[in-house]
Amino acid sequence: MTDQPPPPAPRPAGPTLPLSAAAPAASPVAPAPEGSAEARRRESFYEAVGGHVTFTRLVDAFYDGVATDPVLKPMYPEEDLGPAKRRLTMFLEQYWGGPTAYSEERGHPRLRMRHMPFTVDPDARDRWLRHMRAAVDTLGLAPLHEATLWDYLERAAHSLVNSAGR
């Protein structure tokens, strides 16, 4: 009989990457107990790509494009895009394994429901994707991280289309 290593611990729900994919820590950190919430947080995509700073950069760059877009800008109820930036940052951070402030403040994301009041047609989707692509490109992510993030953003944008066109 061969000694077999124990089966791996169950993986947390949501996208994760091995800790080795993350940038090295600035200082040594004690290992977190295997399977603990701290271990899952440390291996999250959110941490691997740089955490809050990265998502803030992404959202700021995205909304720089939205602010000048004649189709997308009118969809935002506030003249100041600050509240929209904050909501998107919180949503993306939570989705990718960061803080859960979005759900704590706003409840379940319900993306399709929250976008129903707006006409999201293929043109709006493509404009959204164009601004988001430009924003992702500013981050300089590792190819695996960039592809993982972009895959999600594309799928999300396509899922929110609720009109065939204007």
Residue 54 has pLDDT above 70, yes or no: yes
Write down the pTM of the prediction: 0.72
pLDDT of residue 28: 46
Is residue 80 included in any domain, yes or no? yes
Is residue 25 included in any domain, yes or no? no
* Gap between the Cα atoms of 141 and 161, Å rounded: 28
Average pLDDT of the segment spanning 96-105: 87
- Asked whether 121 and 157 are in contact (CB, 8 A), the reply is no
SS3 call for 52: helix
Is residue 147 included in any domain, yes or no? yes
- Over residues 66-97, the pLDDT tens digits come to 999 999 999 887 778 999 999 999 999 999 99
**What confidence tier does 17 reach under pLDDT thresholds 50, 70, 90?**
very low
Neighbours of 29 (CB within 10 A): 9
pLDDT of residue 117: 61
Is residue 128 included in any domain, yes or no? yes
Handedness of CA 129, 130, 134, 140 (dihedral sign): positive
Is residue 14 included in any domain, yes or no? no
* Gap between the Cα atoms of 80 and 114, Å rounded: 19
Is residue 13 included in any domain, yes or no? no
Percent of the chain with pLDDT over 70: 69
Is residue 15 included in any domain, yes or no? no
Query: CA 133, 135, 137, 140: dihedral to nearest 10 degrees?
Result: -140
> Which residues contact residue 66 at a Cβ distance below 8 angstroms, ignoring those fewer than 6 apart?
72, 73, 76, 81, 128, 131
Q: Which domain holds residue 64?
A: 34-159
Q: Which of 33-37, 54-58, 148-152 has the lowest mean pLDDT?
A: 33-37
Average pLDDT of the segment spanning 51-57: 97
The number of C-alpha atoms within 13 Å of 67 and in the hemisphere containing its C-beta is: 12
What CATH number is attached to the domain comprising 44?
A: 1.10.490.10
- Asked whether 137 and 149 are in contact (CB, 8 A), the reply is no
